[in-house]
Each structure stands twice: as C-alpha cells, then as structure tokens.
Amino acid sequence: MQSFFRLLTELSSRKAISRMVGSLARSRWSRRWIGHFARSYGISVEEAEKPLHEYESLNEFFTRRLKPGARPIDPDVNTLTSPVDAVITGLGPIRAGLRFEVKGQEYTVGELLNQSPRTVNYDNGYYFVLYLSPRDYHRIHAPVSGRIEEKEHIPGKVYPVNDFGLRVMRQVLSRNERLVTYIRHEHGEAAVVKVGALNVSSIRYAEGLADHVNKGDELAMFEFGSTVVLLMESGTFRPRGDLSCGQAVRVGEALGVLKPKHEDGR
C-alpha cells in the first residue's frame, strides 16, 4: 500500500501542477476563498498586517506580513532564533561525518547542499528541520546577524514535505527544489535551506535583500506550506535543552546559544 501511495505522489508531484495551483492562487478570483481558508486552518487573522478584505488574492494573504511587534526577536546577540513559525520535525547533532535523520530516513548534508564545498563546515554541526503547515506565517527571517556569503538555487522535485511525505517518499528534503542561504556570523556559519513542496509555486527572496542581515530581517517567503532545514557549523552552537520533535516554535524564538569554536575544549 505504501508503494501505491508513493506512486500516486510521484505522478502528482510535477512542476506543471504546482505552477497551475500557483496561478490560480494568485488570481483575483481566488480572493473569495480567503475567509474559508483562514477558518479551515484556524489562522490568527488578527495578527495579519491588513484586514482580510484588503488582500487581492489567496496568495497575497498566504504570504501576508504580520503587524509590527507580532513576532518579537530574542534580543540576546548570542542566540540563534527560529527563522519561521513551524513545528520541529527533526533536530540534533550531525553525526558520522555529515549524517542526520528525519522521520526514520537518513540524509547527508552533502545531498542536502548539492555537494557544495561548504558541506565540510557542518561535519559535526547541528541541525533543525522546521515544517510550516498551511496555517503558519510563511515569511522566513534571518536566524542570526551576519553577512550573506552565498545564495544557491538547487532545482528539484516538489514532493510533499508533511509527515506523509517525509515518511513515505524517499529522501524528500534532498530531492525537492531548494534555496540555500549561507550566513557568516560572529562565531561561524549558518545555512538556511528553504525546501519547496507540493503546490508551492515558488520560494522567493525578500525584495532588496542586503548582503548584511540583522537577526529577524526578512530573508524570503514560501508560497504554500514547506520546510526549512537550519544547519549550524561544527562547534559553534549549543541548543536549548527543552526542544523536541513535535514542538512548535515561532519566528524570533531562541533555539540555542552561539559560541566560539572549541570554547568547550573539543
């Protein structure tokens, strides 16, 4: 049965379908769905920057900004903060020379980063997998302050990245389309990997994105639900002790502490 569902997903996970859904969601005709969409997913519409009737399409509502102050950013310069509103679907140290596990499947950082030369930076680092459901705020923010060293677009599929997709499809996170932003901060490097998904018409960088970002600045946005994989360079990060899979986090919430390399003697 699992093979049957995998086949159906393979057949439906085509860019043409995502483009079609995206075009429909961007049309003015789609604005009639906004109220129903918000009610169906229990979206906190009072946080939205504008009243519902002012959005011109479902896509504009989906990629909405929030009211100023709705997501306070942890002020400690030494914290790593969540780049998104999401549920943690994977976290932990990257082990055995660049390997990590999500929903029973093993990935390598090399696969995720398209064999980038920067892969070696994360050989004993730390990772978070952060899943955004349709109800979530879908703008992505800088988790640290620093300089954007590199941006890479990695073409790929658009498989679902929900619980079903991560469990049933093979290597979803490293097969789907991705945008990777590498940020050099005071203590090392962080990689923000934005993973596309079924019915995501695009992942877009924020307009006017500067080479230097401050923690909490807008980096990009998803159109429809998807996932961010956050990678921390080896020896530069200590996670909060109370985080676990299934836990919800919000933009600006501290995930742990940045630290100089080898401060613990390793």
Catalytic residue among 82, 201, 226, 234, which?
226
Q: Please tell me the number of Cα atoms within 13 Å of 207 on its side-chain side.
A: 0
- Terminal C-alpha separation, the chain: 47
Q: E strands along the chain, which residues?
A: 79-81, 86-93, 99-102, 105-108, 126-131, 139-141, 146-154, 178-185, 188-195, 203-205, 212-213, 218-222, 227-232, 237-239, 248-249, 254-258
Q: What is the DSSP string of 116-156?
A: -GGGGGGTT-EEEEEEPPTTS--EEE-SS-EEEEEEEEE--
Q: Is 226 among the catalytic positions?
A: yes
Is residue 85 annotated as part of the catalytic site, yes or no?
yes
Residue 80 near residue 73 (C-beta atoms within 8 A): no
Looking at this protein, which amino acid is placed at residue 106? Answer: E
Catalytic residue among 13, 30, 141, 174: 141
Q: Per the residue annotation, which of 85, 136, 138, 185 is the catalytic one?
A: 85
Q: Which residues participate in catalysis according to the annotation?
A: 85, 141, 226
